[in-house]
């Protein structure tokens, strides 16, 4: 079984659950939650089901490709079900069975893990899903997004693809995963990981990034004020990635963090406010805009 | 009410509320509260309850009990119209007849009720008796709605809130299913087994049949039984490899509340990882994976762990293998980090601390270290260390934050300090230096100790003093429930080190003043910091030792070192029990009432009256007993008599302003004598 087989299998399963199978968003981000397909669609009253793979960049987790499991960029398989169905946990467990995992042979546990994204003004309650002691998924009931109460509540399921696959195919390090027949994860990403780590830890320029953060922030503000919601939000995503890189550089102290997160939270609230009162959202309600 | 109930009058009842996985740390409180609330709600309905059992797994809350089949009889006296309006010409009036109709008695059966000067018609009536079946569901619903929760959530479309979504519920009296609705979910005559082994619904036929259904679904609903199973089997597994488990109530409780059917298993890791210091191994196993570490009889670790899976599988090998793989990945990381760290001296990290921000308003760790150096240098003579130790302490200040930049601490932040000590030992620093670095985070959680070593105590004192003073001066003082910088905890650490150790032999306030000066801060920063520390310490003494805040403030606010606190507390208890205390307190109050900020005179004036002279002389004697509380107490009793005599003989607020001032000065001096050991105002009023 290859990684792409598993992705296709998950897509099939969730397509059959009524999800739109979407493509990754084309701006660098730390988690699938930040995709507009989740961030905006979790807001407001309309039902919505979507699943997509989102490459997720975490500069602080970069290890020059030397760590067996930790990488600069991993892949999340993200599912959003709005409203959360009553049997959502069972549906998740059946997705694992769809991948060929017999739940009777494994220890599956839901361990408390409450989720908070201070930069998104968002929080939810949920669990980590442990498969034989390994965290393979995050499961969250969104309570708030962009500073707004989520009504109805969505359930977000996020599979950590590398971990899940390495477990399913029985390899000890993600480098040994076969992405496609004859193409290993190592093949695709080892050198990339080295380059990204070297950039994040050594060659990124804090002064340049700090300046970019300020520019992107003011662009986001300017565009959101013009009610250009997606372009504005995209600049917020850029801010977020720059912040993560500065963090990896060690250029942001524990307390400065709070200030930066606060600035991004202000933008995400603004984006959510504009979205909820926008024309395009009203169109979305009528089903003309995806 | 009768004391005994024949079992014929009692019925078994059972409620099960099914949920998605409740966080383990809250489960016990939630189920205990649910049980108590149900008992209260049923008793409020005049239903007897016995043998109540409250059980929970992560996915269900279950309360079972015996309850009386119907309400207790209740006769009640109800009040009707005034007697004067009840009869006219010996015939019942419409007012009386209306009352009788309303409560269902005949006019011949009424009595009278006296209320003050008025007489009313009264009647004894029997309250209607409702059966258990009718009262149970509302009582359960009310009980459930009142369960206190730290944090709750909404789910799906509804506005219902609970800690996690409610998915099913079932309520029974014997074999009768009772309809109910919990958080919008209607009851049904079924339950579910554990997720792994029996995810499908299971029929319930009644309260007695419930156990059979759960056995079939592989659910062990009694938490104490699960705990026992885990404990016994885990011990057995440890013994099978000649090891034992450290008692670990916290972890045992957590794993008990993480599973519906526990199956402990033994796992192994490669011995090469035993090179990793034990705190890292234990943190990896306990905190990150919820495994029990296995120790040898000499206390060192064996390369084994015990995990607890949920449910039963055909064999455990798959689960064991998976868990071993996860731990291997974690330990391989840890070993890599540890070896990398050992390649550097702690001092290598020191320059980088100049670039790591401690707090945006308080500068970098480098700045903080420089401030601690200056605090220590200026107070060097005061600390109970010899010259060599004092030089070693300078090294402690230089290095105590260096481990923040090690890889292990970046990976395991909870090991800050602990790793500093390990690396300092590895570098062959003097033991006292390493130990002080290791003790810098005490006291941490509530109930934690202060550092044992003198250097550790001084380090914690100076470090937190800097944090609190600088924090207060920069507007970070806690307000209400907001304390993002953890100032309260830092303040308590200061209070506890000053009162529980012997390192500072001067009044506490002096240290705050001195430190504020050295840090170039305003006097108000010293005052506000001192007040914050004082109030945290008072709160702590109240909570941990039951000492009322006035009493501890009476002791702490007097200008004596806080380390004399226990002795002065004992003496305070002694004088409070003294029969003369009341009189002394009363005299003090008389002074306190008339005093308005008058200073004690530098040179004693000539006293005109012997009663004045006597107050002065006795006060002087009391003031001379600074080293003997017993003598002071005897003299204060004498002073109390002299004060009373003065108040009886003269008017303190004499019309002549000169006389008035002089008397005020006299009383100011007496007040000072009263307050020599304790702040009397705290305890006398």
φ and ψ at residue B218, rounded to 5 degrees: 55, 60
Give rounded-to-5 percent helix, strand, coil for chain A. Answer: 50, 20, 30
Q: Is B110 helix (H, G, I), strand (E, B) or coil?
A: coil
Q: Are strands A20-21 and A48-57 parallel, antiparallel or unpaired?
A: parallel
Q: Which of B269, B230, B270 is nearest to B249 (CA)?
A: B230
> Which chain A residues are Cβ-neighbours of B197 within 8 angstroms?
104
Q: Does A154 have pLDDT greater than 60?
A: yes
Residue B668 lies inside a defined structural domain of this protein:
yes
Where do we find the tokens 């008025």?
Answer: B118
pLDDT tens figures, B272-283: 999 999 999 999
Greater confidence (B498 vs A279) lies with B498
- Check residue B6 and give its pLDDT: 53
- Long-range contact pairs involving B180-187 (C-beta distance under 8 Å, separation at least 24): B180/B15, B180/B137, B180/B140, B180/B141, B181/B141, B182/B17, B182/B140, B182/B141, B182/B144, B183/B144, B183/B158, B184/B158, B184/B160, B187/B137
Least CB-CB distance to B319: which of A107, A112, A141? A107
Q: Which residues between 95 and 124 in chain A have a beta carbon less than 8 angstroms from any beta carbon of chain B?
A: 103-112, 114, 124
Question: Which residue does chain B place closest to A173, by CA atoms?
Answer: B329
Question: Which residue does chain B place closest to A87, by CA atoms?
Answer: B167
The encoded tokens of residue B463 equal 């470090």
Angle CA A104–A105–A107, to nearest 5 = 85
Q: Do A108 and B23 touch (CB under 8 A)?
A: no
Q: Does B233 have pLDDT greater than 70?
A: yes
φ and ψ at residue B617, rounded to 5 degrees: -65, -45
Average the pLDDT over B85-113 and give the result: 89
Q: Which residues between 173 and 192 in chain A have a beta carbon less than 8 angstroms from any beta carbon of chain B?
A: none
Average the pLDDT over B11-29 and give the result: 96
The encoded tokens of residue A80 equal 């959003």
Task: Work out whether the CA dihedral A24, A29, A34, A36 comes out positive or negative.
Answer: negative
**Are B498 and B601 contained in the same domain?**
no
Average the pLDDT over A19-41 and give the result: 97
Task: Give the start-to-end residue ranges of the domains of chain A.
Answer: 3-200, 204-286
Asked if B399 and B423 touch (Cβ cutoff 8 Å), the reply is: no
Residue B487 lies inside a defined structural domain of this protein:
yes
Task: Work out whether the CA dihedral B65, B66, B68, B74 comes out positive or negative.
Answer: negative
pLDDT tens figures, B583-638: 999 999 888 888 777 778 777 778 888 999 999 999 999 999 988 889 999 999 99
Average the pLDDT over A248-272 and give the result: 87
Q: Which residues contact A33 (CB under 8 A, 6 or more apart)?
A: A39, A78, A117, A120, A122, A156, A158
Q: Is B143 helix (H, G, I), strand (E, B) or coil?
A: helix
Q: Which residues between 198 and 227 in chain A have a beta carbon less than 8 angstroms from any beta carbon of chain B?
A: none
- Check residue A280 and give its pLDDT: 59
φ and ψ at residue A155, rounded to 5 degrees: -105, 130
Least CB-CB distance to B153: which of A105, A106, A143? A143
Rg, Å, chain A Cα set? 19
**Are B389 and B281 contained in the same domain?**
no
> Which chain B residues are Cβ-neighbours of A163 within 8 angstroms?
none
**From residue B148, how far is each of A123, B143, B162, B183, B634 by CA, in Å?**
21, 10, 10, 15, 53
Q: Do B153 and A152 touch (CB under 8 A)?
A: no
Q: Provide the CA B263 distance to its chain's centre, in angstroms.
A: 33
Residue B2 lies inside a defined structural domain of this protein:
no
Mutate to test the interface with A, among B163, B193, B196, B324 (most CBs of A within 10 A): B196
Q: Do B329 and A152 touch (CB under 8 A)?
A: no
- Check residue A111 and give its pLDDT: 93
- Check residue A279 and give its pLDDT: 61
Residue B569 lies inside a defined structural domain of this protein:
no
Rounded Cα distance between B511 and B496, Å, is: 14
Residue A284's pLDDT band, with cuts at 50, 70 and 90, is low
> Which chain A residues are Cβ-neighbours of B164 within 8 angstroms?
125
Q: Are strands B75-82 and B10-19 parallel, antiparallel or unpaired?
A: unpaired
Rounded Cα distance between B595 and B616, Å, is: 16
- Check residue B119 and give its pLDDT: 92
Rg, Å, chain B Cα set? 36
Rounded Cα distance between B526 and A253, Å, is: 27
CA distance A152 to chain B (A): 5
Greater confidence (B660 vs A178) lies with A178
- Check residue B685 and give its pLDDT: 58
Residue B25 lies inside a defined structural domain of this protein:
yes
Asked if B593 and B586 touch (Cβ cutoff 8 Å), the reply is: no
Where do we find the tokens 């100076």?
Answer: B462
Rounded Cα distance between B266 and B250, Å, is: 20
Helices assigned H by DSSP within B400-507: 407-411, 418-426, 431-438, 454-473, 487-500
The encoded tokens of residue B46 equal 């005049």
Average the pLDDT over A178-204 and give the result: 96
Domain span at residue B156? 7-71+131-216
Mention the CATH class of domain A204-286: mainly alpha
Residue A288's pLDDT band, with cuts at 50, 70 and 90, is very low
pLDDT tens figures, B296-341: 999 899 999 999 999 887 778 989 999 999 999 889 889 989 998 9
- Check residue A256 and give its pLDDT: 76
Question: Which residue does chain A place closest to B23, by CA atoms?
Answer: A112
Q: Which of B514, B513, B538 is nearest to B527 (CA)?
A: B513
Q: Do A253 and B360 touch (CB under 8 A)?
A: yes
Q: Which of B126, B115, B124 is nearest to B82 (CA)?
A: B115
**Which domain-ending residue is among B342, B358, B378?**
B342
Residue B570 lies inside a defined structural domain of this protein:
no
- Check residue B602 and give its pLDDT: 78
Residue B175 lies inside a defined structural domain of this protein:
yes
**Are B559 and B584 contained in the same domain?**
no
Helix or strand run (H / E) with residue B508: helix B508-518
Where do we find the tokens 């958080």?
Answer: B183
The encoded tokens of residue B352 equal 């980088």
Q: Provide the CA B404 distance to its chain's centre, in angstroms.
A: 29
Angle CA B669–B671–B675, to nearest 5 = 120
**Are B152 and B267 contained in the same domain?**
no
Q: Do A133 and B318 touch (CB under 8 A)?
A: no
Strand partners, B308: B264
Burial label for A87, CB within 10 Å (0-12, 13-18, 19+), is: exposed
Rounded Cα distance between B506 and B514, Å, is: 11
Q: Which of A114, A89, A147, A85 is nearest to B150 (CA)?
A: A114
Question: Which residue does chain B place closest to A260, by CA atoms?
Answer: B360
- Check residue A267 and give its pLDDT: 97
**Are B559 and B444 contained in the same domain?**
yes
- Check residue B1 and give its pLDDT: 37
DSSP secondary structure of B569-606: HHHHHHHHHSTTHHHHHHHHHHHHHH--SPPPPSSPPP
Average the pLDDT over A127-134 and give the result: 94
Residue B572 lies inside a defined structural domain of this protein:
no
- Check residue B213 and give its pLDDT: 95
Three-state secondary structure readout of B212-227: HHHHHCCCCCCHHHHH
**Are B648 and B672 contained in the same domain?**
yes
Q: Does B473 have pLDDT greater than 70?
A: yes
- Check residue B616 and give its pLDDT: 92
Rounded Cα distance between B510 and B256, Å, is: 51
Task: Work out whether the CA dihedral A26, A32, A34, A37 comes out positive or negative.
Answer: positive
- Check residue B48 and give its pLDDT: 95
> Which chain A residues are Cβ-neighbours of B361 within 8 angstroms?
255
- Check residue A66 and give its pLDDT: 86
Asked if B179 and B186 touch (Cβ cutoff 8 Å), the reply is: yes
CA distance B3 to chain A (A): 45
Q: Kindly report the average pLDDT of chain B as a whole number.
A: 92
**Which domain-ending residue is among B288, B313, B342?**
B342
**Are B38 and B187 contained in the same domain?**
yes
> Which chain A residues are Cβ-neighbours of B21 within 8 angstroms?
109-112, 127
ipTM of the complex as predicted: 0.91
- Check residue B171 and give its pLDDT: 98
Greater confidence (B447 vs B16) lies with B16
Q: What is the CATH T-level fold of the domain A3-200, as seen in this structure?
A: BirA Bifunctional Protein; domain 2 (3.30.930)
Q: Do B322 and A85 touch (CB under 8 A)?
A: no
- Check residue B3 and give its pLDDT: 41
- Check residue A239 and give its pLDDT: 97
Rounded Cα distance between A81 and B53, Å, is: 38
Mutate to test the interface with A, among B27, B57, B58, B153 (most CBs of A within 10 A): B153
Q: Do A152 and B157 touch (CB under 8 A)?
A: yes
Helices assigned H by DSSP within B343-427: 346-353, 365-379, 387-399, 407-411, 418-426
Rounded Cα distance between B167 and B242, Å, is: 45
Q: Does A281 have pLDDT greater than 60?
A: no
Q: Do A250 and B196 touch (CB under 8 A)?
A: no
Q: Do A125 and B153 touch (CB under 8 A)?
A: yes
**Which domain-ending residue is among B313, B342, B371?**
B342
Q: Do B307 and A133 touch (CB under 8 A)?
A: yes
pLDDT tens figures, B335-365: 989 998 999 999 999 888 887 878 878 888 9
- Check residue B104 and give its pLDDT: 86
Q: Provide the CA A133 distance to its chain's centre, in angstroms.
A: 22
For chain B, how many structural domains are there in total? Answer: 5
- Check residue B658 and give its pLDDT: 86
Q: Does B5 have pLDDT greater than 80?
A: no
Average the pLDDT over B56-76 and give the result: 95
Q: Does B509 have pLDDT greater than 80?
A: yes
Q: Does B386 have pLDDT greater than 50?
A: yes
- Check residue A41 and give its pLDDT: 96
Average the pLDDT over B143-148 and give the result: 96
Q: Does A287 have pLDDT greater than 70?
A: no
């Amino acid at each position: 079984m290859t990684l792409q087989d598993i992705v296709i299998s998950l897509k099939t399963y969730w397509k059959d659950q009524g999800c739109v199978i979407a493509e990754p968003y084309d701006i660098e981000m730390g988690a699938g939650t930040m995709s507009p397909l989740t961030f905006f669609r979790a807001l407001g009253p309309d039902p919505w089901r979507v699943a997509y793979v989102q490459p997720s960049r975490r500069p602080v987790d970069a290890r020059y490709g030397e760590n067996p499991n930790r990488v600069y960029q991993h892949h999340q398989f993200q599912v959003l079900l709005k409203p959360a169905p009553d049997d959502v946990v069972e549906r998740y467990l059946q997705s694992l069975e769809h991948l060929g995992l017999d739940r009777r042979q494994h220890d599956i546990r839901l361990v408390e893990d409450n989720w908070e994204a201070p930069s998104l003004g968002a929080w939810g309650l949920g669990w980590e899903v442990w498969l034989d002691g390994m965290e393979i998924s995050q499961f969250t009931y969104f309570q708030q997004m962009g500073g707004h109460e989520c009504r109805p509540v969505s359930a977000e399921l996020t599979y950590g693809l590398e971990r899940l696959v390495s477990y399913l195919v029985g390899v000890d390090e993600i480098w040994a995963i076969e992405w496609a027949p004859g193409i290993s994860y190592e093949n695709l990403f080892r050198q990339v990981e080295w380059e990204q780590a070297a950039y994040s830890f050594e060659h990124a320029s804090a002064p340049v990034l700090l300046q970019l953060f300020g520019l992107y922030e003011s662009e986001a503000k300017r565009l959101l004020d013009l009610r250009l919601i997606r372009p504005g939000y995209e600049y917020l995503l850029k801010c977020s990635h720059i912040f993560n890189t500065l963090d990896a550089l060690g250029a942001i102290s524990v307390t400065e963090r709070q200030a930066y997160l606060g600035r991004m939270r202000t933008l995400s609230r603004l984006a959510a406010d504009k979205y909820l009162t926008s024309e395009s959202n009203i169109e979305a309600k009528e089903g003309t805009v995806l | 009410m009768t004391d005994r109930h024949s079992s014929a009058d009692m019925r078994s009842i059972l409620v099960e509320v099914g949920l998605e996985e409740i966080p383990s740390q809250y489960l016990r409180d939630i189920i205990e509260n649910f049980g108590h609330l149900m008992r209260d709600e049923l008793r409020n309905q005049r239903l007897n309850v016995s043998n109540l059992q409250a059980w929970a797994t992560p996915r269900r809350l279950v309360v079972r009990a015996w309850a009386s089949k119907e309400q207790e009889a209740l006769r009640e006296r109800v009040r009707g119209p005034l007697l004067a309006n009840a009869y006219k010409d010996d015939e019942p009036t419409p007012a009386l007849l209306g009352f009788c109709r309303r409560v269902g008695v005949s006019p011949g059966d009424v009595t009278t009720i006296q209320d003050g000067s008025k007489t009313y018609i009264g009647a004894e009536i029997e309250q209607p008796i409702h059966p258990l079946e009718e009262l149970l569901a509302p009582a359960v619903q009310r009980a459930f709605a009142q369960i206190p929760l730290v944090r709750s959530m909404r789910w799906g479309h509804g506005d219902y809130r609970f800690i996690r979504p409610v998915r099913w519920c079932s309520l029974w009296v014997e074999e009768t299913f009772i309809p109910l609705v919990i958080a919008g979910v209607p009851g049904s005559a079924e339950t579910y087994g554990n997720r792994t082994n029996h995810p499908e619904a299971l029929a319930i036929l009644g309260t007695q049949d419930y156990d059979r259904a759960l056995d079939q679904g592989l659910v062990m609903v009694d938490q104490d039984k699960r705990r026992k199973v885990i404990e016994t089997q885990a011990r057995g597994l440890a013994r099978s490899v000649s090891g034992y488990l450290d008692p670990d109530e916290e972890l045992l409780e957590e794993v008990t509340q993480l599973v519906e059917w526990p199956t402990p298993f033994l796992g192994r890791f490669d011995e090469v990882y035993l090179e990793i210091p034990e705190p890292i191994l234990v943190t990896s196993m306990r905190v990150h994976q919820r495994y029990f570490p296995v120790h040898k009889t000499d206390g060192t670790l064996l390369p084994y762990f015990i995990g607890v899976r949920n449910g039963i599988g055909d064999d455990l090998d798959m689960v064991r293998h998976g868990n071993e793989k996860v731990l291997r990945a974690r330990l391989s990381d840890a070993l890599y980090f540890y070896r990398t760290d050992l390649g550097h001296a702690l001092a290598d990290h020191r320059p980088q601390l100049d670039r790591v921000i401690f707090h945006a308003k308080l500068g970098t760790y480098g700045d903080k270290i420089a401030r601690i150096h200056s605090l220590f240098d200026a107070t060097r003579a005061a600390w109970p260390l010899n010259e060599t130790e004092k030089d070693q302490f300078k090294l402690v200040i230089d290095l105590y934050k260096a481990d923040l930049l090690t890889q292990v601490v970046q990976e395991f932040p909870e090991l800050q300090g602990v790793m500093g000590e390990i690396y300092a030992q590895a570098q062959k620093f003097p033991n006292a230096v390493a130990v002080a670095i290791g003790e810098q985070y005490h006291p941490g959680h509530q109930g934690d100790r202060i550092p044992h070593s003198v250097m550790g105590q001084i380090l914690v004192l100076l470090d937190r003093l800097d944090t609190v003073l600088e924090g207060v001066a920069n507007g970070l003082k806690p307000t209400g429930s907001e304390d993002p910088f953890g100032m309260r905890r830092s303040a308590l650490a200061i209070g506890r080190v000053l009162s529980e150790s012997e390192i500072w032999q001067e009044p506490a306030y002096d240290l705050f003043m001195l430190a504020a000066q050295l840090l170039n801060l305003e006097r108000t920063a010293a005052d506000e910091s001192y007040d914050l520390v004082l109030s945290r310490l008072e709160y702590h003494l109240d909570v941990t030792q039951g000492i009322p805040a006035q009493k501890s403030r009476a002791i702490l606010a007097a200008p004596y070192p806080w380390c004399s606190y226990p002795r002065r507390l004992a003496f305070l208890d002694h004088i409070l029990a003294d029969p003369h205390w009341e009189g002394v307190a009363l005299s003090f109050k008389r002074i306190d009432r008339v005093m308005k900020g008058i200073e004690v005179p530098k040179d004693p004036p000539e006293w005109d009256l012997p009663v004045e002279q006597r107050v002065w002389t006795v006060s002087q004697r009391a003031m001379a007993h600074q080293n003997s509380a017993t003598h002071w107490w005897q003299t204060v009793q004498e002073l109390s008599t002299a004060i009373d005599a003065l108040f009886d003989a003269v008017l303190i607020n004499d019309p002549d302003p000169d006389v008035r001032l002089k008397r005020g000065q006299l009383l100011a001096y007496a007040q000072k004598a009263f307050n020599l050991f304790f702040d009397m105002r705290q305890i006398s009023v």
